[in-house]
Amino acid sequence: MNEQLINALLEDLKNPDEDVRNQATEELWRIWFQQKGQYGFERLERSQTLFTAGNVKQAEALLTQLIDDLPDFAEAWNRRAVLYYLLGEYQKSQADCLEVLKLNPVHFGALHGLGLCYAALGQYRAAIQAFRKALAIQPYALVNQKLILECTARLS
């Protein structure tokens, strides 16, 4: 991945102009999804199609195979984390989010997902930390600000 481009896009996430932020967000997702070329991208799309059609086990198997084939493909880990989260398997999702962050420490989606997992498990302090890390990358992400407030309220 082009480190200069990534750094410029990360800076754009902090721009007061919403259009600039939205373009940067879209471009980062595009780069992350296409990190492993057409093969990786097509597998991610196929897994999403399977999941949407209700073929959850097939979607999970496809993502697991993709991770086995390309263990450094952060977005494959992230997509499986999303799948696990949607199934209510928060510890599995959490583990996959942590793998994403080892590979891509600025993956705001994985930080957000990690926060959601911690919150779902009642670990509100850890959730707040994850949402704050996501906010450091995407300071205008209102959803993370809202979730920090919700988790803080649950602590009192």
Q: What pTM value is reported for the model?
A: 0.95
Specify the higher pLDDT residue, 95 or 2.
95
Contacts with 66 (C-beta within 8 Å, 6 or more apart), sequence order: 40, 43, 44, 47, 73, 76
* Extents of the domains making up the chain: 3-155
Give the angle subtended at the CA of 4 by the CAs of 26 and 129, to the nearest 5°.
65
The percentage of residues in the chain with a pLDDT greater than 70, rounded to a whole number, is 99
Report, as an integer, the average pLDDT of 36-59. 96
CATH of domain 3-155: 1.25.40.10
